[in-house]
Amino acid sequence: MSSVAVLQARTTSTRLPGKVLLPVGGIPLAVLAGLRAGNTGRPVVLATSSEASDDALAAAALKYGLACHRGSLQSPLQRMVDSLAGYPDRTVVFRLTGDNVFPDGALLDELEQAFLDGGQGYLCCNGEQSGLPYGLSAEVFWLEGLRWTLTQSPSAHDHEHVTPMLRRKHGERYFQRYRDAGWSAGRCTVDCLDDYLLVTRVFAQVQDPVGVSWKTLCQHLLADPQTPAIRALLHKLVLGTVQLGMPYGINNGSGMPSIEQACAIIRGAIRHGVACIDTARAYGHSEAVVGAALADGWAGRAKVITKLSPLAELPEGSPSAVVAAAVRASVFESCQKLGVARLDVLMLHRAEHLRACNGRVWAELLELVRAGVVAELGVSVQNPAELEQALEQADVAYVQLPLNLLDGRWDALLPRIERARAERGLTVHVRSALLQGLLVSADDSQWQRAHVAVPAQVRGQLLEWSGRFGRDGVADLCLAYVRGLAWVDGVCLGMETLAQLHDNARLFQHAALQPEQIQAIALERPLLDEQTLNPASWQRERP
């Protein structure tokens, strides 16, 4: 029985053009990836396209003695199968990509043994699921399975991504020997310029870029200042950016950060694994700041959720053409500020726009979805009545609502929320987990502005829970509460400094509250007035 590694690579990348030819350790990136994959003696084939754009890549492979096959640009699946024409069906095949240079022959040896021991048709080593840095990736399967996929699947998606049909057939199986290594916060793929600079820094610390162990590279990677010092990525944290575009919040003492500081916060959050960024047309310069941060290859690393303009200038009863123009103007402005042709998620900033103007606002957004300008729609709600309206609308894919551990207003709607999540994949994000910073404030005047007559009683209850449940302060308690709710998919937090990002990242490493602890809070929470739970009702600070 034999095995072979096929390295899939092309020069026409978009986020970092020509990255496969950029030097790492003095060797073109994709060529180094191939040489490392074969450093224990396994044959490696670099499979690239027959287009003229890949002539230089093919020449580089041949210069370093790496076998090269050239085929279809549009179908990497066809290209990969053709590159193995001389191998028997029962050949173990590894699929690698030219932007992932950390895997080596020793890792593939371990992966092959696990694949054979498991007796299945597919196994993957892939970042967090394997406890390893993102980019320390490889797939392994039988050649007969790959050939079967080519004959069975007409899907362009399957032809582009090669293995989806194998995964559907055999299941998502992950190599997990290093599952508890605590290395999954690292990132070693090369997708943008910052990635490339990081990988070059790592390889600059070793003498033999081809022979150095993947484990040694991981040690250097995790010691780099760009790698977050966390064990678990922050997938449930949604980065709120209102503070990056305008002054906001009762505890906003830092002021708006500069554009450079704001970009550092956004990119730092993405490095920490934040998968969603929340912004809005009404958040001052926030969309433009997000757009600047996601330039230079960062777009696509996180989903951007923005919100329609509040449309305050649009009176009820406006003609359909006027409504359509106002909606489209807001969407165009969001696209322009964010630097995108299509919005990932567009929410209504005001739930009343579900029905406003005889439903024309929502109807126009549905037209934009059909036109491919918006991928998914959502609604930002303020109260249970608005949430009920949103849940009734089948086209609502996201809802965002204010929630903290003192707020029991949503309890009656939990069965409907859970049903919508199960039946149509509704995503639920919550904001204001700290009630705009009020819950961690020791300033009585701030509580009194929020209509709490005796702040000491509420603060005392928060401190009692924090001590009883072994939490690291009230902020930890509040975040652990919302993170522990099974129906909450994301927790939106705004940050004004990198220090706040790092502090929140530290708190997200702590365990969420257990169901019995959440139930105790629900039974013991003090009853707060609606005016306290709605910051729009708070008294203005005296000048």
Is 229 inside any structural domain?
no
DSSP at 258: P
Please indicate, yes or no, whether residues 212 and 253 belong to a single structural domain of this protein: no
Going by pLDDT thresholds of 50, 70 and 90, the confidence category of residue 528 is: confident
190 and 252 share one domain: no
| Domain membership flag for residue 422 | yes
pLDDT, residue 540, reads: 75
Residue 166 sits in a domain of what CATH number?
3.90.550.10
Domain that holds residue 372: 237-537
Strand partners, 100: 189
Assigned token pair, 302: 């996180």
Report how far apart the first and last C-alpha atoms of the chain are (Å, whole number).
80
161 and 216 part of one domain: yes
In a domain, 385, yes or no: yes
- Domain identity same for 178 and 248: no
Same domain, 294 and 402: yes
Is 231 domain-assigned?
Answer: no
- Split at pLDDT 50, 70, 90, the class of 543 is very low
What is the CA angle 68-70-74, rounded to 5?
Answer: 135
List, for residues 136-159, the tens digit of each pLDDT value. 999 999 999 999 999 998 889 999
User: 139 and 9 in one domain?
Assistant: yes
Give the residue among 128, 130, 134 at the shortest CA–CA distance from 97.
Answer: 134
**Percentages of the chain per state (helix, strand, coil), in multiples of 5:** 45, 15, 40
pLDDT digits (tens, 9 = 90+) for 468-495: 999 999 999 999 999 999 999 999 999 9
Distance, CA of 185 to CA of 104 (rounded, Å): 20
Closest C-alpha among 336, 340, 337, 222 to residue 285: 337
Model confidence over 252-275: pLDDT tens digits? 555 789 999 999 999 999 999 999
**Assigned domain for 506 exists:** yes
State yes or no: pLDDT of 458 exceeds 90.
Answer: yes
Is there a single domain that holds both residue 33 and residue 126?
A: yes
Domain boundary among 174, 194, 223: 223
Same domain (yes/no): 181, 285: no
Residues 166 and 212 in one domain: yes
Neighbours of 443 (CB within 10 A): 12
H/E stretch holding 6? strand 3-8
Here the CATH number for the domain that contains residue 404 is 3.20.20.100
- CA-CA distance, 313 to 187, in Å (whole number)? 46
Domain boundary, last residue among 156, 190, 223: 223
208 in a domain, yes or no?
yes
Q: Is residue 504 part of a domain?
A: yes
pLDDT of residue 246: 87
Instruction: Count the domains in the chain.
Output: 2
Q: What is the band of 314 on the pLDDT scale with cuts at 50, 70, 90?
A: confident
Instruction: Tell me, yes or no, whether 155 and 278 share the same domain.
Output: no
Same domain? 199 vs 281 = no
Over residues 191-228, the pLDDT tens digits come to: 999 999 999 999 999 999 999 999 999 999 999 999 99
219 lies in the same domain as 334:
no
Q: What is the pLDDT at residue 296? A: 84
pTM score: 0.90
Query: Which of 176, 201, 223 represents a domain boundary (last residue)?
Result: 223
Reduce the DSSP state of residue 397 to 3 states and report it. strand
